[in-house]
Amino acid sequence: MIVGAPPTLVRFAVLLTLVCGGLLWAPAQASAAGERGIGRILAGRGEAPESASQERKELMTWYGRQMKRHWAKFEARIGEPLNRWARAHVPEVKGGVVFYPFGGPDFVTVHRVFPKADRYVLIALQKGGRAPRLHEATDYRLGQVLRLFEEGIKEFAQRGFFLTKEMNRLFDWDTTVEGMTGIIAAFAELEGFDILKVEPIRVHPETGFVETHPGDHSHRKRWGSVRLYLQSRAEGRTVIIDYIRMNLYDEYLRKIPGQVRLVERMALYPTFLKAASHLLQQDGFASVREALLDNATLVVQDESGLGYTDLLKHFDVKLFGRFTLTNKLFRGVKGWRELAKAFKDQPPALTVDFPIGYKKPAGSCLMVAKRKAESPLPGSP
């Protein structure tokens, strides 16, 4: 994530206000067809029924055409090259959990890197929110939604991530904005999944286990974190996305024991870090940093994740791409110079021929860190 945003992202914020503030909402146990429709419409793959107005039919045809064009550009520039890189260089993870702290709603990238996981745990500051029933919007409102959503998805397709400043400003409007569930649903559809169900979840305040929220699901406040049940259209297998709203800053994380326990538990699984604002290299994020350094078996990240010097103490680290200088917003952060020296002294094995993470003078870089054999997990014999 990153601060600063172009006008299109401002309009995208307005879009989410419209989606989340002005439409009817799906109940927690909506039909499979209704849940599936959320992703299909927002991914540009929905079709207006025969009984729909001509305006609605033309709108959805236009939106579908635009989305197809944007996603084709994403696949050519980022998606397919990332697929090839991950297949060649990331140890295959079959089943199990993948952890993506600071990931926001970016299911697309983590799924490309770890396509065979059964559960993806994404943590972000923004709310999940109830799932909008777009098919019940008026023609005028749906037009507003799709035109603005088209611009937001276009930005993601070009950059590969969303910009935090606009997302944070958007989610301060608690009376009108529900959150990120619609975006995640669209990404799931684009990644080849049908949506079976969406439900509100919470992290148990003591145990740290993720559970269905015990409160009244008709109340919007229960939907800060959400779980999406998906089914792969190609393989038929069921996949879960847990989108958890949580502040990972130590001061807030440690207030609730269950949050710390969740992070410690998730850190045991393969972890992905991208566009993470170099937070784990700064004071104030020791809980997450130490959990990953002490427990993770595999970390795939760009330069903005764990500090390179810290990684070397526990992991065998393989470098990919080029890195000489971090993004200008983060040059005051300690640690990136050691990474730049490592890239200079140890030429990487393969060029990263696609943009990922923040824009930097030398282009893109990635690291694959596997725990050293002589660095056992705590408690190991």
Task: Give the residue from 166, 200, 164 showing the smallest Cα distance to 275.
Answer: 164
Domain for residue 321, yes or no? no
Do residues 311 and 369 make contact, with C-beta atoms less than 8 angstroms apart? yes
241's enclosing H/E stretch is: strand 238-245
Domain for residue 204, yes or no? yes
Q: Residue 94 is encoded by which pair of tokens?
A: 């079959």
Query: Residues 40-45: what's their mean pLDDT?
Result: 93
Query: Residues 47-51: what's their mean pLDDT?
Result: 89
Question: Quick one: pLDDT at residue 33?
Answer: 56
Q: How confident is the model at residue 165 (pLDDT cuts 50, 70, 90)?
A: low
* β pairing state of 298-301 and 365-371: antiparallel
Domain for residue 172, yes or no? yes
Higher pLDDT, 105 or 33: 105
Q: How many domains does the chain contain in total? A: 1
Domain for residue 271, yes or no? no
Mean pLDDT comparison of 28-37, 87-96, 138-147, highest-scoring range: 87-96
Question: Quick one: pLDDT at residue 375?
Answer: 53
Domain for residue 379, yes or no? no
Averaged pLDDT of the chain? 86
In angstroms, the CA 120 to CA 103 distance is: 10
Q: How confident is the model at residue 378 (pLDDT cuts 50, 70, 90)?
A: low
Lowest mean pLDDT segment, chosen from 31-40, 179-188, 330-339: 31-40
For residue 55, pLDDT over 80 is answered with yes
Q: How far is CA 119 from CA 87, 98, 181, 182, 260, in A?
A: 19, 6, 16, 19, 20
Domain for residue 315, yes or no? no
In angstroms, the CA 364 to CA 320 distance is: 8
Burial of residue 76 (number of CB atoms within 10 Å: 0-12, 13-18, 19+): exposed
* pLDDT tens, residue by residue, 257-310: 999 999 999 999 999 999 998 999 999 999 999 999 999 999 999 999 999 999
* Boundaries of domain holding 97: 7-266
In angstroms, the CA 253 to CA 95 distance is: 28
In angstroms, the CA 193 to CA 185 distance is: 9
Task: Give the residue from 1, 10, 66, 30 showing the smallest Cα distance to 181.
Answer: 30
For residue 60, pLDDT over 90 is answered with yes
> Residue 10: how many CB atoms within 10 A of its CB?
16
Q: How confident is the model at residue 14 (pLDDT cuts 50, 70, 90)?
A: very low
Percent of the chain with pLDDT over 70: 84
Do residues 65 and 149 make contact, with C-beta atoms less than 8 angstroms apart? no
Do residues 323 and 303 make contact, with C-beta atoms less than 8 angstroms apart? yes
Amino acid type, 338:
E
Residues 6+ apart with CB under 8 A from 205: 256, 257, 258, 259
Task: Give the residue from 310, 311, 283, 302 showing the smallest Cα distance to 359.
Answer: 302
Q: How confident is the model at residue 148 (pLDDT cuts 50, 70, 90)?
A: confident
Do residues 138 and 29 make contact, with C-beta atoms less than 8 angstroms apart? no
Task: Give the residue from 40, 43, 47, 18 showing the smallest Cα distance to 144.
Answer: 18
301's enclosing H/E stretch is: strand 298-301
Question: Quick one: pLDDT at residue 171?
Answer: 39
For residue 362, pLDDT over 50 is answered with yes
Task: Give the residue from 169, 157, 125, 155 showing the smallest Cα distance to 279.
Answer: 125
Angle 332-326-112 from CA coordinates, rounded to 5°: 130
In angstroms, the CA 310 to CA 93 distance is: 24
Longest dimension (CA), the chain: 69
In angstroms, the CA 329 to CA 102 distance is: 17
In angstroms, the CA 202 to CA 275 distance is: 25
Query: Residues 52-74: what's their mean pLDDT?
Result: 96
Lowest mean pLDDT segment, chosen from 13-27, 82-96, 322-336: 13-27
For residue 2, pLDDT over 90 is answered with no
Domain for residue 260, yes or no? yes
For residue 16, pLDDT over 60 is answered with no
Q: DSSP for 27-56?
A: -TT--HHHHHHHHHHHTT-----TTS-HHH
For residue 368, pLDDT over 50 is answered with yes
Domain for residue 108, yes or no? yes
Q: Residue 5 is encoded by which pair of tokens?
A: 């945003």
Percent of the chain with pLDDT over 90: 62
Lowest mean pLDDT segment, chosen from 23-27, 65-69, 114-118: 23-27
Provide the whole-model pTM.
0.88
For residue 126, pLDDT over 80 is answered with yes
For residue 164, pLDDT over 60 is answered with yes
* pLDDT tens, residue by residue, 342-356: 998 987 667 899 999
**Residue whose token pair is 């050691």:** 338
